[in-house]
């Protein structure tokens, strides 16, 4: 696998990756047909984006007759976490706490979201052997 040129996905690359993550694999035409977001891309644009993604190490292809079938190499969770680390590093001095606090201050949280967050924090604390309950009320 060639080394990644850039971990950052452009908007067009992300659109293609979302289709491949959802489908699992596909030809250029199948990816194009599965794209729901507007504006629509041309076949050659999707082909170019897929080739860039392949050079970056995000997708691979296998030959199926005359067609190339592309599949993701990088899982969506891995790409998401990489982007979050990049964001935290660029704007918050690598502090994930500051990133989360900024999100919460910007838009707040609904009661259901807060309950989910509390459960996640409690589960994480249990997994790490911390007996005390989180202080989130």
**Bridge partner list, 62:** 69
Give pLDDT tens digits for 31-40. Answer: 999 998 788 8
Q: Rounded to whole angstroms, how far apart are CA atoms 54 and 48?
A: 10
Spatial neighbors of 44 by CB under 8 A, at least 6 apart, are none
- Per residue in 57-90, pLDDT tens? 999 999 999 999 999 999 999 999 999 999 999 9
Nearest to 52 by CA among 13, 80, 17: 13
> What confidence score (pLDDT) does residue 1 get?
54
Q: Which CATH number applies to 1-94?
A: 1.10.10.10
In this structure, how many other beta carbons lie within 10 angstroms of the beta carbon of residue 127?
Answer: 8
Q: CA-CA distance, 67 to 91, in Å (whole number)?
A: 43
Report the distance separating Cα 60 and Cα 69, nearest Å: 8
pTM of the predicted model over 0.85: no
Question: Which secondary-structure segment (H or E) carries 61?
Answer: strand 59-64
Asked if pLDDT for residue 50 goes beyond 70, the answer is yes
């Amino acid at each position: 696998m060639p080394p990644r040129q850039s971990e950052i996905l452009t908007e067009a690359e992300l659109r293609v990756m979302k289709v491949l993550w959802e489908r699992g694999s596909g030809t250029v035409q199948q990816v194009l047909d599965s794209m729901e977001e507007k504006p629509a891309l041309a076949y050659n644009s999707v082909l170019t984006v897929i080739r860039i993604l392949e050079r970056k190490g995000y997708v691979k292809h296998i030959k199926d007759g005359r067609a190339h079938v592309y599949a993701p190499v990088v899982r969506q969770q891995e790409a998401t976490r990489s982007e979050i680390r990049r964001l935290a590093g660029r704007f918050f001095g690598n502090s994930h706490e500051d990133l989360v606090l900024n999100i919460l201050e910007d838009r707040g949280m609904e009661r259901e979201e807060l309950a989910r967050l509390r459960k996640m924090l409690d589960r994480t604390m249990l997994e790490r052997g911390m007996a005390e309950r989180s202080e989130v009320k």
